[in-house]
Amino acid sequence: MNINATLIGQAISFFVFVWFCMKFVWPPIIAALEERKKKIADGLAAAERGKHEQELAQQRAAEVIAEAKKEAAGIIAQAQKRANEIVDDSKSTARVEGERILAAANAEIEQEVNRAREQLRGQVISIAVAGAGKVLKREIDAKAHDDLLQDLVAQI
Amino acid sequence: MASETLTTSSYIQHHLTNLTYGKLPDGTWGIAQTDDQIAQMGFWAIHVDTMFVSILMGVLFLLAFRAMAKKANSDVPSGWQNFLETVVEFIDTSVRGSFTAKNDLVAPLALTVFVWIFLMNFIKLLPVDFLPGLLSLAGLPYAKVVPTTDPNATFGMALGVFILMLYYSIKNKGLGGFGAELAFQPFPKFLFPVNLLLEVVGLIAKPISLALRLFGNMYAGEVIFILIAVMYGTGMVLGTFAGFLQLGWAIFHLLVITLQAFIFMTLTIVYMDMAHQEHH
């Protein structure tokens, strides 16, 4: 266990190794490690940013959807209103039309009735005149009593 | 060691002796063949095994990390790159945690210290006779392959750390400031001899404790491994038992070698931090 010149040799090799390590080994490794650290940090930051952006986009999408829903509801309400209006319009049109048809029919009926009545009246007059003529053939001149007969016909 | 002339104590002794290159008694330079020759070499001798393995491990470390550093980019890492980056990241976190000043040297220093010591310690998990056995076939008389069980290696590194401490202390605080830090605290200024004594002892104790902690742990662990290896020669039952013991001790040492490397690194960072801190 003797101390000898090996001590000096060891000290020299120690310095040489440390120097070599300091010059050629440590700096590139630590530079690479730092660079990777930075890369990872950047990546994480980018991921965080992406996540945030995605959240924003989701929020925006939700807003758009809500707006669209609102719009659609508005459109539906308007359409319903419009439909109601149309139905009401057609109803009133139909009613007016019906009334018009009814009135026309009534008028026609009345006309027919009047015509029939006129006819009837004419016939009755003819019959009455014929009957009266037969009765009064002998006694009354048809021409002399025409005024009286017209009066009678008007009363029927 | 198959030789029957070998006793247990000499087996252990043999395993704890380094392959030493130095001046032999006959005046020539060469590798010592006996313990006596090693003892006579004095200070100017080199532990060839320690130097070779530690430099091999250091080069291995630098090549692996350099290869990774060349390919380093910010894409998805894979395989080895991932593993080595984890190590670098771990060191970087430790340095950021304990070192508050700004110095580009400290993080690479910590990385070198941690990985280098870990690799040197790791040799220990190889069976104790494995490499020395191979090397004795190659004709080498001794081989202690775990560099951190050689105090020269641990003191060498601690010396390096100590020199860096002194350098940065003087650089950051100035010679006067560093001297004042040693002389004028913790007691009032008029007691400066006491302060100086305390602080200098404290200062010198730092590298010594750094070196001794690592050396002590590794050396003790190695001795246990060798003792377990001795049991292999004592018969079937004890040999099997030794197998389990070695497995358990090795698993435990996986923890110890990492921990020791980590402690050495952390203390290095802390000492470097102290060298950068202005004390009142």
pLDDT higher than 90, residue A143: no
Determine, for residues A18 and B74 on separate chains, whether the beta-carbon distance falls below 8 Å: no
Of B98, B103, B172, B213, which residue is the catalytic one? B213
More confident call, B41 vs B255:
B255
What is the ipTM score, two decimals? 0.86
Determine, for residues B160 and A15 on separate chains, whether the beta-carbon distance falls below 8 Å: yes
Determine, for residues B69 and A28 on separate chains, whether the beta-carbon distance falls below 8 Å: yes
The minimal CB distance from B43 to the residues A5, A31, A33 is found for: A5
pLDDT higher than 80, residue A144: no
Residue A60 is predicted with a pLDDT of 96
The minimal CB distance from A14 to the residues B47, B68, B156 is found for: B156
Distance from CA of A58 to the nearest CA of B (A): 33
Bridge partners of B30? B22
Instruction: List the strands of the sheet with B46-47, edge to edge.
Output: B29-31, B20-23, B46-47
* Residue B266, φ and ψ in degrees, nearest 5: -60, -45
For an interface test with A, the pick among B15, B17, B43 (most A C-beta atoms closer than 10 Å) comes out as B43
More confident call, B175 vs A44:
A44
Q: How confident is the model at residue B213 (pLDDT cuts 50, 70, 90)?
A: very high
Q: Closest by alpha carbon to B270, among B216, B197, B209, B219?
A: B209
For B157-198, write each residue's pLDDT tens digit.
999 999 999 999 998 888 888 888 888 877 787 888 888 888
The mean per-residue pLDDT over the stretch A119-143 comes to 76
Distance from CA of A42 to the nearest CA of B (A): 13
Residue B2 is predicted with a pLDDT of 45
Q: Closest by alpha carbon to B140, among B23, B218, B30?
A: B30
Residue A140 is predicted with a pLDDT of 59
Residue B134 is predicted with a pLDDT of 82
The minimal CB distance from B46 to the residues A5, A21, A38 is found for: A5
- Print the SS3 string covering chain B: CCCCCCCHHHHHHHHCCCCEEEECCCCCEEECCCHHHHHHHCCCCEEHHHHHHHHHHHHHHHHHHHHHHHHCCCCCCCHHHHHHHHHHHHHHHHHHHHCCCCCCCHHHHHHHHHHHHHHHHHHHHCCCCHHHHHHHHCCCCCCCCCHHHCHHHHHHHHHHHHHHHHHHHHHHHHHHHHHHHHHCCCCCHHHHHHHHHHHHHHHHHHHHHHHHHHHHHHHHHHHHHHHHHHHHHHCHHHHHHHHHHHHHHHHHHHHHHHHHHHHHHHHHHHHHHHHHCCCC
Distance from CA of A13 to the nearest CA of B (A): 7
pLDDT higher than 60, residue B113: yes
Q: How confident is the model at residue A152 (pLDDT cuts 50, 70, 90)?
A: confident
For chain B, the domains span: 3-276
More confident call, B65 vs B134:
B65
For B10-48, write each residue's pLDDT tens digit.
888 888 888 888 888 777 888 888 877 887 787 888 888
For an interface test with A, the pick among B38, B113, B154, B159 (most A C-beta atoms closer than 10 Å) comes out as B159
Neighbours of A100 (CB within 10 A): 10
Determine, for residues A32 and B72 on separate chains, whether the beta-carbon distance falls below 8 Å: yes
Average pLDDT, chain B: 86
Contacts of A8 by beta carbon, 8 Å cutoff, 6+ apart: B156
The answer to whether B209 is a known catalytic residue is: yes
Q: Which residue in B has a C-alpha nearest to residue A26's C-alpha?
A: B108
For A96-110, write each residue's pLDDT tens digit.
999 999 999 999 999
Q: Sign (positive/negative) of CA torsion B62, B210, B131, B52? A: positive
More confident call, A85 vs A120:
A85
Q: How confident is the model at residue B257 (pLDDT cuts 50, 70, 90)?
A: very high
